[in-house]
């Protein structure tokens, strides 16, 4: 089984005022490793674009022993799980300089038609991974079971948040979360993050964000009966 590794050093642009990696930058690092690995596996952007497809993240679960800090050298490990119809599991570990795992993550990706914005099963795309588990994977993400919000704010998607798929990139949601979370503003790092993306946020569109904190748990989602995304962050 091929495991992709991506070494990097935490730079000033990666950290917050407390010199710890920002949540959005952690997700960006994991995303870049997954993107690079998909290229090596023959399922990169150049390949799937010929079928008018794009990779879309559906859910992600992250467990954090500690956040990396400014100047630290870390290494991302990532590998896919076994494809199940239209769902593509992927796993990650972030290792410190001693090789200790300080972050573990699991995610579920999907292939989506760029015009129809509809799921494309592996039988149709021809992209199918059959990797065995390593034994160190954390559980795949499940939808959040409960939610508490008592505040709201309006948000309009800016140009700088939109990626090459034409929607707000999944990593930018955590800039929203950190800006609204009392724990983040107090300098506390999350120990677990669960996110579910149900639909895309589009350039120039405005959305009502509902959020709240209950004990050490912060919640953020869009308004309405069917939220477009939901985030739960434990501190």
pLDDT per position as a tens digit, 172-199: 999 999 999 999 999 999 999 999 999 9
Residues 41 and 97 in one domain: yes
Q: Give the pLDDT band of residue 205 (cuts 50, 70, 90).
A: very high
Residues 50 and 111 in one domain: yes
Residues 29 and 94 in one domain: yes
Residues 15 and 105 in one domain: yes
Q: What predicted TM-score, i.e. pTM, was given to this entire model?
A: 0.95
pLDDT tens, residue by residue, 4-14: 999 999 999 99
pLDDT for residue 1: 60
Residues 113 and 21 in one domain: yes
Residues 104 and 191 in one domain: no
Residues 115 and 62 in one domain: yes
| Kind and range of the H or E run holding 123 | helix 122-125
Domain that holds residue 91: 4-125
Task: Assess if residue 195 is contained within a domain.
Answer: yes
Task: Assess if residue 143 is contained within a domain.
Answer: no
Based on the structure, what is the number of domains in the chain?
2
Residues 104 and 8 in one domain: yes
Considering the chain, what is the average pLDDT of its residues? Answer: 96
Q: Give the pLDDT band of residue 134 (cuts 50, 70, 90).
A: confident
pLDDT average, residue stretch 51-60: 97
Residues 157 and 195 in one domain: yes
Residues 12 and 116 in one domain: yes
- CATH for 43: 3.10.129.10
pLDDT for residue 131: 83
Residue 31 has pLDDT above 70, yes or no: yes
Strands, sheet with 151-156, edge to edge from the N-terminal-most edge strand: 4-9, 73-80, 88-95, 101-113, 53-64, 192-197, 229-234, 217-222, 206-214, 151-156
Residues of the chain with pLDDT > 90: what percent?
A: 93
Residue 21 has pLDDT above 80, yes or no: yes
Flag the least confident range among 103-107, 201-205, 220-224, 231-235: 220-224
Whether the CB-CB separation of 160 and 6 falls below 8 Å is answered with no
Residues 72 and 116 in one domain: yes
Task: Assess if residue 9 is contained within a domain.
Answer: yes
- Rounded to 5, what percent of the chain is helix, strand, coil? 20, 40, 40
Residues 107 and 38 in one domain: yes
Task: Assess if residue 136 is contained within a domain.
Answer: no
The rounded distance, in Å, linking the Cα atoms of 13 and 25 is 9
Residue 148 has pLDDT above 80, yes or no: yes
pLDDT tens, residue by residue, 65-81: 999 999 999 999 999 99
pLDDT average, residue stretch 108-134: 92
pLDDT for residue 113: 96
DSSP 21-49: B-HHHHHHHHHHHHHHHHHHTT-SHHHHH
pLDDT for residue 130: 82
Task: Assess if residue 113 is contained within a domain.
Answer: yes
């Amino acid at each position: 089984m091929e495991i992709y590794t991506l070494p990097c050093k935490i730079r000033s642009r990666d950290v917050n005022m407390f010199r710890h990696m920002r949540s959005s930058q952690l997700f960006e690092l994991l995303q870049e490793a997954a993107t690079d690995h998909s290229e090596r596996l023959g399922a990169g952007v150049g390949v799937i674009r010929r079928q008018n497809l794009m990779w879309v993240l559906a859910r992600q679960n992250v467990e954090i022993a500690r956040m990396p800090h400014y100047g630290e050298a870390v290494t991302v490990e990532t590998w896919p799980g076994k494809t199940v119809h239209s769902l593509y599991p992927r796993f990650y570990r972030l290792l410190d300089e001693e090789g200790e795992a300080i972050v573990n993550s699991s995610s579920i990706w999907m292939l989506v038609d760029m015009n129809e914005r509809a799921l494309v099963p592996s039988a149709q795309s021809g992209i199918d991974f059959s990797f065995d588990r390593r034994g160190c994977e954390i559980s795949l993400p499940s939808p959040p079971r409960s939610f508490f919000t008592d505040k709201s704010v309006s948000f309009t998607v800016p140009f700088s948040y939109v990626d090459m798929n034409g929607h707000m990139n999944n990593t930018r949601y955590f800039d929203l979360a950190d800006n609204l979370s009392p724990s983040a503003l107090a300098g506390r790092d999350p120990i677990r993050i669960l996110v579910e993306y149900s639909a895309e946020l589009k350039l120039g569109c405005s959305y009502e964000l509902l959020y709240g904190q209950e004990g050490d748990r912060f919640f953020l989602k869009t308004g309405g009966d069917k939220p477009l995304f939901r985030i739960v962050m434990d501190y």
